[in-house]
Amino acid sequence: MNPAKDAKPAEPKGGWRDITHVSNKRSITVFAIGAVIGLILAGVALFTAKGTSTLVVPPEDVALVNQQPIARSDFYLQIKALYNTDYAQTTPEQRKQVLNQMIREELFVQRGKELDVASVDPDVRNAMVSAVEQGIAADVIASRPSDEKLTAYYKAHQDAYSSEGRMTVRDLVFPTPDAGASAAKALRSGEAVGSVVAQYHGKDSGRVNGEEFYFAAKIHLGDAMFAAARSLLAGQASAPLTAPDGPHVLFMVSNFPPVPNSFAEARSSVLADYQKAAIARLQNGDENFFRKRANVLVAEDMR
């Protein structure tokens, strides 16, 4: 017996926990754990990786066509859309029919890819552009901005969040400039509209009718008259305004200018506008990135 040969290698003083010395036990244990973890990871990766060829249809799909899945959710949606009823109320024949249609569609889509339909068919091209744009927008919609960001956006664009102004205005037309001037003076002194119209042979133009939103009053009165009307307070009359059909005098019955909406009132609109702006920004950014990485050659006469 050779005692030197049979002796086990000396363990370090601190046992296997002492990492300043080599420990066979520790090496073997770490090796074993690493091997097990590695095997598990390899197994998971092997059976879940995209593109892995498999003979088993994953539970979330109803079929695989050349390894391309047909999603179960799309299948249910198709059934509901086609038969306008719940899945449980459909017959096996109906389900088979829908599945066959979806398989057919997938086969034709795959053939379309082989034929590179996207390079020639404007509808396919439009659909692809739209799908990529929608994908970019979906990122924005799925992430909810914080209240701080929304408040900052609201403060920066506060003018956009107000109620539509309303006014009730009488648009009176008079036969002569003198009559118009006298009527305006009389209205300003507080005479009733009816008596002023009768006294100076005026009439209502009929352009405006009762209370109107500012935008409607602007369309009905025209830009110049609306500008004059907007500045009038209730009970005030404008100076005569020249028009082809005679001098007009505006008498304001009531005027409610736009009132800024509070953040709470405008919150849903602020969120929508914030997201719209973010989508536009992101789509521009993506377009710039696509251009940057692309090799675009432009004909000389088009540069």
Partner 1 sequence: MVGVSRRDIAAAARWFRGLSRRTRFLVLGSLALAAVALIWAVLNDRQEARLIRADPDSLPAQTELMRYAVGHGRGLYQSHCSSCHGGQGQGHFMLGTPNLTDKDYLYGDGEVSDVETVVLYGIRAPDSRTWRLADMPGFAKPVPYEREKAIKPLSPGDITDLIQFLHAIASKPSDATAATRGAAIFAGRGGCWDCHANDAKGDPAIGAPSLADNIWLYGDGSDKWIFQSIAQGRAGQCPGWSGRLSPVKIRELSLYVYSLSHGSAKPKPSLP
Footprint on this chain of partner 1 (rule: CB under 8 A): 16, 25, 28-29, 32-33, 36-37, 40, 59-60, 71-73, 76-77, 80, 86-91, 130-131, 133-138, 141-142, 144, 163-164, 166, 209-213, 215-216, 219, 261, 264-265, 267-269, 271-272, 275
Distance of closest approach, residue 303 Cβ to partner 1, in angstroms: 35
**CA pair distance 295, 259, nearest whole angstrom:** 52
DSSP string, 181-214: HHHHHHHHTT--HHHHHHHTT-EE-SS--SEEEH
Angle 230-231-232 from CA coordinates, rounded to 5°:
95
Give the residue among 249, 253, 252, 251 at the shortest CA–CA distance from 202.
249
Please, which residue, 67 or 73, has the CB nearer to partner 1? 73
Distance of closest approach, residue 127 Cβ to partner 1, in angstroms: 8
Please, which residue, 41 or 227, has the CB nearer to partner 1? 41
Distance of closest approach, residue 59 Cβ to partner 1, in angstroms: 4
Please, which residue, 188 or 207, has the CB nearer to partner 1? 207
Distance of closest approach, residue 141 Cβ to partner 1, in angstroms: 4
Question: What are 7's two structure tokens?
Answer: 């002796």
Question: What are 115's two structure tokens?
Answer: 């034929």
Distance of closest approach, residue 103 Cβ to partner 1, in angstroms: 18
Please, which residue, 73 or 284, has the CB nearer to partner 1? 73
Please, which residue, 29 or 176, has the CB nearer to partner 1? 29
Give the residue among 81, 79, 80, 116 at the shortest CA–CA distance from 96.
79
Please, which residue, 68 or 195, has the CB nearer to partner 1? 68
Distance of closest approach, residue 142 Cβ to partner 1, in angstroms: 4
Give the residue among 255, 254, 243 at the shortest CA–CA distance from 172.
243
Question: What are 257's two structure tokens?
Answer: 């200018």
Give the residue among 178, 229, 174 at the shortest CA–CA distance from 204.
174
